[in-house]
């Protein structure tokens, strides 16, 4: 299933994004980001289904939390950089 990864700057940032999305009814789970997606070392990412992109963007804007970078996986395991 296609999904987006929202890269966070820290675990606290990832938790807060994840919590804000969940509170809005958007399924979100944070976990350690694959090292290949991070240019400065360890980081966390929040995963959301691709069909929740617009709702997630609105929710994160509403609470003032923005991901550092966004990646998209169309279901083939290959990430491409994207925007929310």
Partner 1 sequence: MIYFDSAATTLQKPEAVSRAVAGAIQSMTTPGRGDYPAARRAAELMLRCRTEAAELFGVPEPDNVILTSNATHGLNIAIKSLVSPGDTVVISGYEHNAVTRPLRAVGGVSARIVNGRLFDPEQMAEGFRKAVDGSVKAAVCTHVSNVFGYALPIDEIAAVCRERGVPLIVDASQSAGILPVNLQKWGAAYVAMPGHKGLYGPQGTGLLLCGEGQPRPLLEGGTGSLSRQQEMPDFLPDRLEAGTQNVHGAAGLLEGLRFVRRQGLGRIAGHEAALIRQLAEGLRRKGTYHVYDGGDSPVLSVIPRQTDPESAADLLARQGVAVRAGLHCAPLAHQTAGTAETGTMRFSASVFNTPEEVDHVLSLL
Q: Where are the beta strands (DSSP E) in 1-84?
A: 3-8, 28-32, 44-49, 69-73, 79-82
2-21: which residues touch partner 1 (CB under 8 A)? 9-13, 15-16, 19
Give the C-alpha separation, 50 to 11, whole Å: 22
Cα 37 to chain center, whole Å? 12
Q: Which stretch binds partner 1 (CB under 8 A): 20-28, 41-49, 50-58, 72-80?
A: 41-49
Per CB under 8 A, does 39 bind partner 1? yes
Give the C-alpha separation, 46 to 40, whole Å: 17
Per CB under 8 A, does 32 bind partner 1? yes
Q: Closer to partner 1 at the Cβ: 44 or 72?
A: 44
Contact residues toward partner 1 (CB under 8 A) are 9-13, 15-16, 19, 31-32, 39-44
């Amino acid at each position: 299933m296609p999904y987006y990864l929202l890269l966070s700057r820290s675990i606290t940032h990832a938790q807060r994004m994840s919590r804000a999305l969940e509170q809005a009814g958007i399924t979100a789970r944070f976990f350690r980001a694959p090292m290949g997606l991070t240019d400065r070392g360890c980081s966390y990412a929040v995963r959301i289904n691709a069909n929740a992109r617009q709702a997630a963007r609105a929710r994160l804007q509403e609470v003032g939390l923005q991901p550092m970078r966004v990646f998209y996986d169309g279901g083939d395991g290959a990430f491409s950089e994207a925007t929310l």
